[in-house]
């Protein structure tokens, strides 16, 4: 829907322009008139092939990301409630909670599984592990986005390159033709066909960049929601279930604790 639809619009505009010029009495070569989208592609020359391939790749990436980044897939609606129920039933045994996260398989479940494994650790260390897990999941959410950015950047360049090739061919035709002197229509024909690739490159780059920023905004929104859920989870369970051993009492030289030693020395001496 990106470049094919845009090309169709551009082709229809060119066809209407050609029809209008013919009706007004101006001489127009039928071979220059754009009859269809396929005709528009053919007139663009060989550089239209990589532009069309990039268009297909961009459409596939956008469709795949929109399916993957659905909120129900990234943050299942009932995940948090189910996890709280499992934790309430398990108590200190969190194996069932980790298994629950593993079976869920969502992005937020992977982050919470990391948190549950390390609930006994200090909050600072727990937050570090959760941050590392979150960064790994964000990389998965942003998969293929760099490809969209690259396509949006090189599409106008490919169109410009096609135009340069067309201009070279047009001037070469005029230079080598003995009948080209004073006939500007020969040069205009080459320029007309050469500019098609520039238009095609821009028609691809603009919607691709819009899609890139749209998908990026959706990812940022999901990451923010996951971050709020994680902070709430840490505040609720960060110090629960801790079974750290108490600090041992300092001992004296004879192996007795200071408390026992003080009790011995405090007893009155009787005759």
Strand partners, 251: 257
Check whether residue 89 and residue 215 sit in a common domain.
no
Tell me the three state secondary structure of residue 203. Answer: helix
Long-range contacts of 155-158 (CB under 8 A, 24+ apart): 155/51, 155/54, 155/201, 155/202, 155/204, 155/205, 155/208, 156/198, 156/201, 156/202, 156/205, 157/201, 158/47, 158/50, 158/51, 158/54, 158/197, 158/201
Asked whether the whole model's pTM tops 0.75, one would answer no
Structural domain includes residue 264: no
Contacts of 257 (CB under 8 A, 6+ apart): 249, 250, 251
Check whether residue 201 and residue 188 sit in a common domain.
yes
Say what the pLDDT of residue 30 is: 53
Say what the pLDDT of residue 178 is: 62
Check whether residue 50 and residue 83 sit in a common domain.
no
Check whether residue 160 and residue 216 sit in a common domain.
yes
Say what the pLDDT of residue 156 is: 94
Check whether residue 161 and residue 62 sit in a common domain.
yes
Check whether residue 153 and residue 24 sit in a common domain.
yes
Structural domain includes residue 96: yes
Decide which of 141, 159, 174 is a domain's last residue. 141
Decide which of 141, 173, 189 is a domain's last residue. 141
User: CB–CB of 4/55 below 8 Å?
Assistant: yes
Q: How far is residue 38 CA from its own chain's centroid?
A: 32
Check whether residue 106 and residue 116 sit in a common domain.
yes
Decide which of 99, 122, 141 is a domain's last residue. 141
Check whether residue 207 and residue 229 sit in a common domain.
yes
Structural domain includes residue 60: yes
Structural domain includes residue 270: no
Check whether residue 179 and residue 204 sit in a common domain.
yes
Structural domain includes residue 34: yes
Structural domain includes residue 241: no
Structural domain includes residue 193: yes
Find the domain containing 112 and state its range.
72-141
Strand partners, 257: 251
Say what the pLDDT of residue 23 is: 42
Check whether residue 202 and residue 76 sit in a common domain.
no
Distance separating alpha carbons of residues 65 and 219, to the nearest angstrom: 10
DSSP readout, 209-238?
HHHHHHHHHHHHHHHHHHHHHHHHHHHHHS
Check whether residue 154 and residue 222 sit in a common domain.
yes
Say what the pLDDT of residue 33 is: 60
Check whether residue 227 and residue 105 sit in a common domain.
no
Q: Give me the tens of pLDDT residue by residue for the chain, a chain 271 residues long.
A: 554 555 554 545 444 444 444 444 444 455 556 566 666 677 777 888 999 999 999 999 999 999 999 988 899 988 888 888 888 876 656 788 888 888 888 899 999 998 888 888 888 888 888 989 999 999 999 999 999 999 999 999 999 999 898 888 878 877 776 665 566 666 777 787 788 899 999 999 999 999 999 999 999 999 999 999 988 888 887 654 443 433 444 455 454 544 444 444 444 444 3
Domains: count for the chain: 2
Structural domain includes residue 267: no
């Amino acid at each position: 829907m990106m470049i094919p639809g845009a090309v169709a619009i551009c082709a229809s505009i060119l066809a209407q322009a050609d029809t209008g010029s013919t009706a007004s009495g101006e001489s127009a070569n039928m071979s220059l008139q754009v009859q269809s989208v396929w005709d528009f592609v053919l007139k663009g020359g060989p550089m239209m092939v990589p532009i069309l391939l990039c268009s297909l790749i961009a459409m596939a990436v956008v469709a795949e990301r929109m399916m993957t980044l659905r909120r129900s897939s990234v943050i299942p609606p009932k995940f948090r409630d189910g996890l709280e129920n499992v934790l309430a039933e398990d108590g200190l045994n969190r194996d069932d909670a980790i298994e629950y996260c593993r079976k869920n398989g969502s992005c937020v479940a992977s982050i919470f599984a990391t948190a549950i494994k390390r609930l006994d650790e200090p909050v600072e260390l727990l937050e570090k592990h959760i941050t590392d897990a979150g960064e790994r999941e964000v990389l998965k959410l942003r998969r293929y986005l760099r490809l969209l950015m690259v396509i949006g950047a090189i599409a106008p360049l490919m169109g410009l390159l096609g135009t340069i090739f067309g201009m070279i061919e047009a001037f070469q035709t005029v230079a080598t033709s003995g009948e080209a002197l004073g006939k500007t229509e020969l040069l205009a024909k080459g320029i007309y066909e050469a500019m098609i690739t520039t238009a095609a490159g821009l028609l691809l780059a603009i919607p691709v960049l819009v899609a890139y920023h749209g998908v990026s905004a959706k990812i940022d929104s999901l990451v923010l929601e996951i971050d709020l859920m994680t902070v709430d989870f840490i505040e609720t369970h960060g110090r629960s279930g801790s079974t750290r051993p108490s600090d041992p009492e300092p001992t004296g030289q004879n192996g007795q604790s200071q408390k026992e030693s003080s009790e011995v020395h405090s007893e009155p001496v009787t005759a």
